[in-house]
């Protein structure tokens, strides 16, 4: 195991030829990410000086050599190119290339006190070796200082990735990111030996790629009118794309463009309405979600359009892979379109899922004709997978498994571990680090079909570079290490320490990285008598301070015993700086506390609210439906029975529901309340109807309360009626609606 991160060590030497003191500075702690496969360390160091030479006889790594020289120039060191191996103090780059090795990413970096030798079998291997060398150098190396000799520890590193596909998706449609931001991300991907930028370029909310044959795609499709009437939009010109692709190529990053079809195509349809089933004019979407206007699968003009677009895409992107989306395509328009229905008849397709499969297969054949490989989201499995298609599994790992079982390649990016748009509550650094890109239940041969993984950075809620950086970093470092080193035994503490050692590098790259984890979690131990709260630190190096009902903040130690209802506020600190977002939760003392209700439903494993006691544990759900306190079911209604254990005089019953209609979460139609004095014999005491429209687009919590007149009862029953399905006006009409509940308060 590598030593934990400790600060820079300085060795002070007296230089031989002058009376000036020169410090040899090197990073004593090795914090390389991703962790090399094999690393051993000697006690000595290699010291760079003004005579350090570089010997690189192979012309095939000219580009890598240029980047190496630039890297050292930034640190104030001009490497002297030599034509013959010198006696000492040199870097030697050796390319052992044979035809068989052109794709090998392996490198061997051997450093002793006299020389650095980097050996690889391909230019990409040389490039990864240079990234490792940079990570061995002190961070502040690129800020040249007088009287300092930079050095690196003597190490022997033999390294190679386990997965060939190590990617990050960047959605530049929901929000647009400037060329310079894309380049910054390419630099970072390369620094962490990720090799794929999956560039999401077309969406409902904006088409971002200039296409000569269809100028309205950008003239119209790149701009949306926001709810406040401002215009939002931009796009990449062909020369922007060429510049970015070339920049990426130099850094061994492949850019895989994603051109979405048949769904997520509202911006294209806004530009060219004849591509939809209705042909009616629509606008570029200005809300988030899934929209029902999609490309018409019955109209040959759709395919002519997409083929022409793709020909221009092929010309721009050298990638052998093209992503065609394929996810979240509502079938509502197709069900009601004579052209689509005619196509289904003519092609003998049994349903709209088969029509989607027809669509994807037709595009796959076109790609194949042009020697391009098709990647699509796991929905492309529905209705039959195109012969050589690659599946990107996002709705869990089943898509990857199904693909591998049928001999198709797969890329794993499940929402559980790889969605960097999710907040830290759902996916923190440790969760990403625990990611297993190989689905369970595959034999050794089937496992070969898992090409690797990706993290997905969707940007609905990422309006700017600052937010982007805070979401991607440091989580990207975990993804990088998982995909490079798998299935090595993982030690999160060691990784966490190395991440601390990477922060100075991220600062140099002007990355505004975020927190590793949510700073605090509350565990609530509620019984009939007491409500005790244990605060868990997100990581051991944090200090927590808390306040209950606005008391002065004090350092948290031990367990808090809450005597009344109120608000608990907590702030974490790391290195004496505020860390992460402040935490606040409301607690409620009531007669039901600590009683385990009988639930007439099976709650979602994603939204348990903390388990069987979620509704009576006293802690209330917040405006974040993923905060762990909401309990949810899809499509079903909820029936809850509570036994108070003895007759109690009741004054009020209340509960709360959540609405976020673009996430398919709706209030119940109504809630019926019942009470009883003996088991199984209930008397209805009232109904509270929902008086807020399901169309309400705000995110909010609504209480459903019933006041009763001090009636004695032991049993309480509540029935909350799910609206069942998303209504016809909804972006995903007919989809199963969610019902989210928290706390059944009994007074």
Q: Which two tokens stand for residue 585?
A: 């939760």
Q: Toward ligand ACM, which CB reaches closer, 294 or 745?
A: 294
Q: Considering only residues 339, 373, 521, 590, which one is a binding residue for Zn ion as defined by CB under 5 A?
A: 339
296 binds, among Zn ion, ligand ACM, none (CB under 5 to 8 A by kind): Zn ion
Structure tokens, 306: 């997409």
Interface region with Zn ion, contact rule CB under 5 A, candidates 288-296, 452-460, 516-524, 525-533: 288-296
Enumerate long-range contacts of 609-612, CB under 8 Å, 24 or more apart: 609/741, 609/742, 610/524
Subset of 690-709 contacting ligand ACM (CB under 6 A): none
What is the C-alpha separation between 404 and 390, in angstroms, rounded?
Answer: 10
CB 323 → ligand ACM: shortest distance, Å?
10
CB nearer to ligand ACM: give 393 or 661: 393
Q: How far is the CB of 327 from ligand ACM (least distance, A)?
A: 4
Q: Is 296 in the site for Zn ion (CB under 5 A)?
A: yes
Among 75, 262, 298, 383, binds Zn ion (CB under 5 A): 298
- Please spell the DSSP secondary structure of 264-329, one letter per residue: S-HHHHHH-GGGBSS--------S-S--S--B-TT-HHHHHHHHHHHHHHHHH---SEEEEE--S-
Candidates 251-259, 297-305, 443-451, 647-655; binding stretch for Zn ion (CB under 5 A): 297-305
Structure tokens at 417: 């571990």
Question: Binds 26, which of ligand ACM, Zn ion, none (CB < 5 to 8 A, cut-off by type)?
Answer: none
509 binds Zn ion (CB under 5 A): no
34 belongs to the binding site for Zn ion (CB under 5 A): no
340 binds Zn ion (CB under 5 A): yes
With tokens 């392996």, the residue in question is 106
What is the dihedral angle through the alpha carbons of 654, 658, 664, 666, rounded to the nearest 10 degrees? 40
327 binds, among Zn ion, ligand ACM, none (CB under 5 to 8 A by kind): ligand ACM
DSSP tag of 141: G
**Contact 34/485 with Cβ under 8 angstroms?**
yes
- The CB-of-264 to ligand ACM minimum distance in angstroms stands at 8
Query: Closest distance between ligand ACM and the C-beta of residue 377, in Å?
Result: 5
Euclidean distance between CA atoms 720 and 747, whole angstroms: 19
Q: How far apart are the C-alpha atoms of 292 and 334, rounded to whole Å?
A: 9
Which one of Zn ion, ligand ACM, none interacts with residue 187, CB within 5 to 8 A by kind?
none
Binding-site partner at residue 277 among Zn ion, ligand ACM, none, CB < 5 to 8 Å by type: Zn ion
Residue 746, token pair as written in the block: 């009994």
Tokens matching residue 9: 């060590």
List the one residue from 164, 234, 327, 662 that touches ligand ACM (CB under 6 A). Answer: 327
Burial zone of 147 (CB within 10 Å; 0-12 exposed, 13-18 middle, 19+ buried): exposed
Half-sphere exposure of 582 (CA within 13 A, CB side): 10
By CB under 6 A, residue 214 contacts ligand ACM: no
Pick the closer one to ligand ACM by CB: 401 or 717.
401
Enumerate the β-bridge partners of residue 108: 119, 158
Tokens of 668: 């119940």
Angle between helices 300-316 and 352-369 (to 10 degrees): 40
**Could you tell me the smallest distance in angstroms from the CB atom of residue 269 to Zn ion?**
11
Pairing status of strand 554-555 against strand 543-548: antiparallel
Contacted by 340, from Zn ion, ligand ACM, none: CB < 5 to 8 Å by type: Zn ion
Distance (Å, rounded) from C-alpha 119 to C-alpha 333? 58
- Nearer Cβ to ligand ACM (298/439): 439
Residue 186 CB, shortest distance to ligand ACM, in Å, is 22
Closer by beta carbon to Zn ion, 277 or else 367:
277
At closest approach, how far in Å is the CB of 342 from Zn ion?
9
Q: Which stretch binds Zn ion (CB under 5 A): 212-220, 336-344, 525-533, 629-637?
A: 336-344
**Binding of residue 328 to ligand ACM (CB under 6 A):** yes
Task: Work out whether 337 is an interface residue with Zn ion (CB under 5 A).
Answer: yes
- Interacting positions 480-539 with ligand ACM (CB under 6 A): none
Partner whose binding site includes residue 580, from ligand ACM, Zn ion, none (CB under 5 to 8 Å by kind): none
Write phi, then psi, for 365 (nearest 5 degrees): -65, -40
Cis? peptide before 262, omega within 30° of 0 = yes
Quickly tell me which residue has 């899922």 as its tokens: 353
* Partner from ligand ACM, Zn ion, none binding residue 337, C-beta < 5-8 Å depending on class: Zn ion
Q: 656 and 621 in contact (C-beta within 8 Å)? A: yes
Residue 607 binds which entry of Zn ion, ligand ACM, none, CB below 5-8 Å type-dependent: none
State the residue for tokens 């049994």.
350
For the CB of residue 276, give the shortest distance to Zn ion in the complex, in Å.
7
Residue with CB nearest ligand ACM?
Answer: 327
Q: Considering CB distances under 5 to 8 angstroms, the limit depending on partner class, which of ligand ACM, Zn ion, none binds residue 298?
A: Zn ion
Closer CB to ligand ACM, 329 or 515, in the complex: 329
Selection from Zn ion, ligand ACM, none that 513 binds (CB < 5 to 8 A by kind) is none
Nearer to ligand ACM, 328 or 743 (CB): 328
Contact partner, 25, from ligand ACM, Zn ion, none, Cβ < 5-8 Å per class:
none
For the CB of residue 413, give the shortest distance to ligand ACM in the complex, in Å: 8
243 binds, among ligand ACM, Zn ion, none (CB under 5 to 8 A by kind): none
∠ CA 196-418-356, nearest 5°, is: 80
Dihedral of the CA atoms 454, 456, 457, 458 (nearest 10)? 160
- Complex with ligand ACM: residue 427 or 685, whichever CB lies closer: 427
* Segment interacting with Zn ion (CB under 5 A) among 61-69, 296-304, 437-445, 467-475: 296-304
Q: Which is nearer to Zn ion, 152 or 340 (CB)?
A: 340
Cα distances (angstroms) measured from residue 543 to each of 475, 572, 577, 710? 22, 6, 10, 46
Residues within window 349-388 making contact with ligand ACM, judged by CB under 6 A: 377
Give CA 134 to chain center in angstroms: 27
**Site size for ligand ACM, by CB under 6 A?**
4
If one asks whether residue 394 binds ligand ACM (CB under 6 A), the answer comes out as: yes
* CB contact at 8 A, 221 and 284: yes
Residues in the chain: 747
CB under 5 to 8 A by kind: which of ligand ACM, Zn ion, none does 394 bind? ligand ACM
Shortest distance, position 396 Cβ to ligand ACM, whole Å: 12
The b-or-e profile of 151-190 (16+ CB within 10 A means b, else e) is bbbbbbbebbbbbebbbbbbbbbbbbbeeebbebbbbbbb
328 makes contact, choosing from Zn ion, ligand ACM, none, with CB < 5 to 8 Å by partner type, with ligand ACM
Q: Answer yes or no: are the C-beta atoms of 30 and 153 closer than 8 Å.
A: yes
* Contact positions with ligand ACM (CB under 6 A) in 435-454: none
Smallest separation (angstroms) from ligand ACM to the CB of 386: 18
Residues 295 and 245 sit within 8 Å (Cβ to Cβ): no
Task: Give me 61's structure tokens.
Answer: 């790594």
Specify which residues 402 forms β-bridges with. none
Determine whether 415 is exposed, middle or buried from the number of CB atoms within 10 Å of its CB (0-12, 13-18, 19+).
middle
Q: Of Zn ion, ligand ACM, none, which one sits near residue 339, judging by CB under 5 to 8 A according to partner kind?
A: Zn ion
Q: How many residues bind Zn ion (CB under 5 A)?
A: 6
Residue 377 binds which one of ligand ACM, Zn ion, none, with CB within 5 to 8 A depending on kind?
ligand ACM
CB nearer to Zn ion: give 303 or 525.
303
- The encoded tokens of residue 170 equal 């960047």
Asked if residue 277 binds Zn ion (CB under 5 A), the reply is yes
Residue 666 region by backbone torsions, left for phi larger than 0, else alpha for psi between -120 and 50, else beta: beta
Q: Cβ(131)–Cβ(105) under 8 Å? A: no
Q: Which residues bind ligand ACM (CB under 6 A)?
A: 327-328, 377, 394
Q: Which residues bind Zn ion (CB under 5 A)?
A: 277, 296, 298, 337, 339-340
């Amino acid at each position: 195991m590598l030593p934990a991160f400790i600060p820079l060590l300085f060795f002070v030497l007296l230089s031989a030829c002058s009376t000036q003191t020169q410090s040899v500075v090197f990073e004593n702690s090795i914090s390389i990410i991703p962790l090399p496969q094999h690393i051993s360390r000697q006690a000595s160091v290699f010291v760079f000086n003004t005579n350090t030479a570089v010997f690189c006889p192979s012309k095939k790594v000219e580009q890598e050599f240029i980047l190496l020289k630039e890297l050292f120039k930034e640190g104030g060191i001009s490497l002297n190119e030599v034509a013959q191996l010198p006696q000492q103090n040199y870097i030697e780059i050796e390319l052992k290339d044979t035809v068989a090795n052109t794709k090998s990413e392996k490198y061997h970096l051997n450093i002793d006190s006299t020389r650095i030798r980097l050996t690889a079998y391909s230019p990409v291997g040389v490039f990864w070796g240079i990234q490792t060398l940079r990570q061995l150098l002190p961070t502040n190396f690129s800020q040249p200082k007088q009287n300092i000799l930079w050095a690196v520890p003597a190490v022997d590193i033999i390294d190679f990735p386990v997965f060939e596909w190590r990617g990050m998706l960047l959605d530049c449609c929901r929000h647009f990111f400037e060329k310079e931001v894309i380049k910054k991300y390419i630099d970072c991907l390369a620094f962490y030996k990720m090799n794929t930028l999956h560039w999401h370029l077309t969406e409902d909310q904006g088409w971002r790629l200039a296409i000569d044959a269809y100028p309205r795609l950008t003239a119209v499709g790149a701009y949306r009118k926001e709810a406040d009437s401002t215009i939002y939009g931009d796009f990449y010109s062909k020369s922007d794309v060429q510049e970015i692709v070339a920049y990426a190529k130099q850094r061994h990053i492949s850019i895989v463009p994603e051109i979405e079809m048949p769904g997520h195509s509202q911006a294209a349809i806004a530009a060219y309405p004849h591509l939809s089933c209705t042909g009616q004019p629509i606008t570029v979407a200005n809300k988030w979600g899934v929209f029902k206007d999609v490309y018409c699968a019955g109209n040959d003009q759709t395919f002519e359009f997409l083929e022409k677009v793709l020909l221009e895409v092929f010309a721009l992107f050298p990638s052998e892979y093209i992503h065609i989306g394929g996810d979240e395509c509502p079938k509502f328009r197709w069900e009601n379109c004579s052209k689509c229905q005619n196509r289904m008849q003519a092609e003998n397709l049994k349903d709209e899922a088969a029509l989607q499969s027809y669509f994807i297969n037709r595009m796959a054949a076109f790609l194949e004709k042009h020697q391009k490989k098709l990647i699509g989201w796991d929905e492309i499995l529905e209705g039959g997978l195109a012969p050589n298609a690659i599946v990107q599994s996002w709705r869990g790992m089943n898509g990857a498994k199904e693909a591998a079982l049928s001999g198709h390649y797969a890329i794993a990016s499940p929402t559980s571990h790889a969605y960097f748009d999710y907040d830290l509550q759902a996916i923190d650094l440790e969760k990403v680090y625990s990611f297993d890109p190989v689905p369970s239940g595959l034999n050794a041969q089937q496992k070969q079909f898992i090409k690797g993984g990706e993290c997905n950075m969707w940007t609905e809620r990422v309006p700017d570079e600052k937010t982007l950086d805070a979401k991607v970093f440091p989580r990207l470092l975990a993804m990088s290490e998982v995909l490079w080193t798998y299935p090595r035994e993982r030690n999160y503490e060691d990784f966490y320490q190395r991440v601390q050692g990477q922060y100075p590098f991220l600062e140099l790259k002007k990355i505004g990285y975020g927190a590793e984890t949510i700073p605090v979690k509350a565990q609530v131990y509620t019984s009939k008598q007491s409500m005790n709260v244990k605060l868990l630190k997100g990581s051991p190096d944090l200090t927590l301070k808390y306040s209950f009902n606005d008391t002065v903040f004090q350092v948290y130690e031990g367990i808090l015993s809450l005597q009344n209802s109120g608000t608990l506020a907590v702030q974490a600190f790391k290195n004496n700086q505020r860390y992460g977002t402040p935490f606040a939760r409301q607690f409620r003392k009531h007669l039901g506390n600590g009683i385990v209700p009988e639930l007439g439903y099976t709650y979602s494993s994603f939204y348990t609210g903390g388990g069987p006691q979620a509704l009576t544990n006293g802690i209330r759900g917040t405006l974040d439906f993923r905060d762990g306190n909401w309990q949810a079911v899809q499509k079903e209604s909820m029936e809850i029975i509570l036994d108070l254990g003895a007759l109690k005089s009741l004054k009020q019953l209340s509960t709360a529901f959540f609405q976020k209609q673009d996430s398919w979460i709706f209030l119940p139609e109504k809630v019926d309340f019942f009470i009883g004095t003996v088991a199984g014999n209930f008397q209805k005491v009232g109904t509270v109807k929902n008086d807020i429209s399901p169309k309400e687009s705000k995110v909010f919590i609504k209480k459903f309360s019933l006041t009763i007149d001090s009636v004695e009862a032991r049993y309480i029953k509540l029935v909350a009626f799910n609206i069942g399905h998303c209504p016809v006006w909804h972006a995903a009409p007919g989809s199963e609606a969610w019902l989210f509940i928290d706390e059944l308060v009994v007074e």
